[in-house]
Amino acid sequence: MDAQLADVELLVCTTCRHGLALNDEGARPGALLHAALQNGALPDGVTLRAVECLSNCTSGCSIVLRGGEARWAYVYGNLSPDQTDVVLDGATRYRATADGLVPWRERPEHFRKNCIARIPPLEPAND
Protein backbone atom coordinates (compact mmCIF):
# COMPACT_ATOMS: atom_id res chain seq x y z
CA MET A 1 0.00 0.00 0.00
CA ASP A 2 1.35 3.45 -0.91
CA ALA A 3 2.47 5.34 2.18
CA GLN A 4 1.82 8.62 0.33
CA LEU A 5 -1.93 8.04 0.21
CA ALA A 6 -4.02 10.11 2.59
CA ASP A 7 -5.57 8.36 5.55
CA VAL A 8 -9.27 7.61 5.39
CA GLU A 9 -12.14 7.72 7.84
CA LEU A 10 -14.64 4.95 8.34
CA LEU A 11 -17.77 6.49 9.85
CA VAL A 12 -20.32 4.12 11.38
CA CYS A 13 -23.82 5.23 12.26
CA THR A 14 -24.45 4.07 15.82
CA THR A 15 -28.18 4.81 15.80
CA CYS A 16 -29.07 2.52 12.86
CA ARG A 17 -31.53 -0.26 13.51
CA HIS A 18 -34.13 -0.40 10.71
CA GLY A 19 -35.40 -3.95 10.46
CA LEU A 20 -32.84 -5.22 12.96
CA ALA A 21 -33.46 -6.15 16.59
CA LEU A 22 -31.74 -4.62 19.61
CA ASN A 23 -29.48 -7.00 21.48
CA ASP A 24 -30.23 -8.18 25.06
CA GLU A 25 -28.60 -5.05 26.52
CA GLY A 26 -30.65 -2.78 24.25
CA ALA A 27 -27.74 -1.84 21.96
CA ARG A 28 -28.64 -0.79 18.45
CA PRO A 29 -27.22 -2.81 15.54
CA GLY A 30 -25.22 0.21 14.33
CA ALA A 31 -23.55 0.51 17.73
CA LEU A 32 -22.82 -3.23 17.67
CA LEU A 33 -21.21 -2.90 14.22
CA HIS A 34 -19.07 -0.03 15.47
CA ALA A 35 -18.03 -2.01 18.57
CA ALA A 36 -17.14 -5.06 16.48
CA LEU A 37 -14.99 -2.92 14.18
CA GLN A 38 -13.39 -1.19 17.16
CA ASN A 39 -12.45 -4.57 18.66
CA GLY A 40 -10.97 -5.85 15.39
CA ALA A 41 -7.85 -4.99 13.46
CA LEU A 42 -8.45 -1.92 11.32
CA PRO A 43 -6.43 -1.60 8.11
CA ASP A 44 -3.42 0.71 8.24
CA GLY A 45 -4.40 4.29 7.53
CA VAL A 46 -8.08 3.82 8.44
CA THR A 47 -9.57 5.70 11.39
CA LEU A 48 -12.89 4.53 12.85
CA ARG A 49 -15.41 7.12 14.05
CA ALA A 50 -18.84 6.67 15.57
CA VAL A 51 -21.46 9.13 14.30
CA GLU A 52 -25.11 9.61 15.11
CA CYS A 53 -27.69 9.31 12.37
CA LEU A 54 -26.61 9.34 8.76
CA SER A 55 -30.30 9.81 7.81
CA ASN A 56 -30.37 6.46 6.05
CA CYS A 57 -32.69 4.86 8.55
CA THR A 58 -34.55 2.64 6.08
CA SER A 59 -31.38 0.83 4.99
CA GLY A 60 -30.07 -1.11 7.99
CA CYS A 61 -26.64 -0.19 9.34
CA SER A 62 -24.85 2.49 7.33
CA ILE A 63 -21.23 3.50 6.96
CA VAL A 64 -19.25 6.20 5.15
CA LEU A 65 -15.79 5.91 3.63
CA ARG A 66 -14.09 9.24 3.03
CA GLY A 67 -10.59 10.58 2.91
CA GLY A 68 -8.86 13.72 1.78
CA GLU A 69 -10.13 16.48 -0.43
CA ALA A 70 -9.32 14.64 -3.68
CA ARG A 71 -11.22 11.40 -2.94
CA TRP A 72 -14.80 10.48 -3.69
CA ALA A 73 -16.76 9.52 -0.54
CA TYR A 74 -19.23 6.64 -0.36
CA VAL A 75 -22.22 5.81 1.82
CA TYR A 76 -23.07 2.11 2.09
CA GLY A 77 -26.11 0.61 3.77
CA ASN A 78 -27.96 -2.61 4.58
CA LEU A 79 -25.10 -3.84 6.73
CA SER A 80 -25.49 -5.96 9.86
CA PRO A 81 -23.22 -6.11 12.92
CA ASP A 82 -21.69 -9.40 11.75
CA GLN A 83 -20.40 -7.97 8.45
CA THR A 84 -17.13 -6.52 9.74
CA ASP A 85 -15.16 -8.55 7.18
CA VAL A 86 -17.07 -6.86 4.33
CA VAL A 87 -16.54 -3.40 5.83
CA LEU A 88 -12.82 -3.98 6.44
CA ASP A 89 -12.30 -5.39 2.95
CA GLY A 90 -14.04 -2.38 1.43
CA ALA A 91 -12.08 0.05 3.61
CA THR A 92 -8.79 -1.59 2.62
CA ARG A 93 -9.61 -1.34 -1.07
CA TYR A 94 -10.78 2.26 -0.70
CA ARG A 95 -7.61 3.22 1.19
CA ALA A 96 -5.49 1.80 -1.66
CA THR A 97 -6.89 4.37 -4.12
CA ALA A 98 -5.78 7.96 -4.62
CA ASP A 99 -9.23 9.11 -5.74
CA GLY A 100 -11.55 6.77 -3.83
CA LEU A 101 -12.73 5.07 -7.01
CA VAL A 102 -12.41 1.34 -6.45
CA PRO A 103 -13.26 -0.40 -9.74
CA TRP A 104 -16.79 -1.77 -9.50
CA ARG A 105 -15.80 -5.43 -9.97
CA GLU A 106 -13.13 -5.12 -7.25
CA ARG A 107 -15.55 -3.87 -4.60
CA PRO A 108 -16.99 -6.33 -2.10
CA GLU A 109 -20.24 -7.68 -3.53
CA HIS A 110 -22.25 -6.11 -0.70
CA PHE A 111 -20.81 -2.69 -1.58
CA ARG A 112 -21.73 -3.16 -5.26
CA LYS A 113 -25.36 -3.79 -4.36
CA ASN A 114 -25.78 -1.39 -1.43
CA CYS A 115 -24.18 1.91 -2.38
CA ILE A 116 -26.51 4.62 -1.08
CA ALA A 117 -24.54 7.62 -2.33
CA ARG A 118 -21.31 8.60 -4.03
CA ILE A 119 -20.14 12.10 -3.13
CA PRO A 120 -17.66 14.00 -5.32
CA PRO A 121 -14.36 15.20 -3.92
CA LEU A 122 -14.04 18.73 -2.58
CA GLU A 123 -11.07 19.32 -4.83
CA PRO A 124 -11.63 18.72 -8.57
CA ALA A 125 -9.15 16.39 -10.30
CA ASN A 126 -6.37 18.11 -12.20
CA ASP A 127 -7.13 17.84 -15.90
Residue 100 lies inside a defined structural domain of this protein? yes
114: domain CATH number is: 3.40.30.10
For residue 20, the model assigns a pLDDT of 65
pTM for the predicted model, two decimal places: 0.88
Mean pLDDT, all residues of the chain: 90
Going by pLDDT thresholds of 50, 70 and 90, the confidence category of residue 16 is confident
Domain enclosing residue 55, as ranges: 8-119
For range 21-50, the mean pLDDT: 90
Residue 3 lies inside a defined structural domain of this protein? no
- Residue 31: C-alpha distances to residues 35, 58, 84, 106 (Å): 6, 16, 12, 28
For range 51-61, the mean pLDDT: 88
For residue 3, the model assigns a pLDDT of 42
Residue 77 lies inside a defined structural domain of this protein? yes
Residue 21 lies inside a defined structural domain of this protein? yes
Residue 26 lies inside a defined structural domain of this protein? yes
Q: How many domains does the chain have?
A: 1
For range 35-52, the mean pLDDT: 95
- Residue 7: C-alpha distances to residues 25, 84, 106, 122 (Å): 34, 19, 20, 16
Residue 2 lies inside a defined structural domain of this protein? no
Residue 67 lies inside a defined structural domain of this protein? yes
For residue 59, the model assigns a pLDDT of 83
Residue 106 lies inside a defined structural domain of this protein? yes
For residue 1, the model assigns a pLDDT of 43
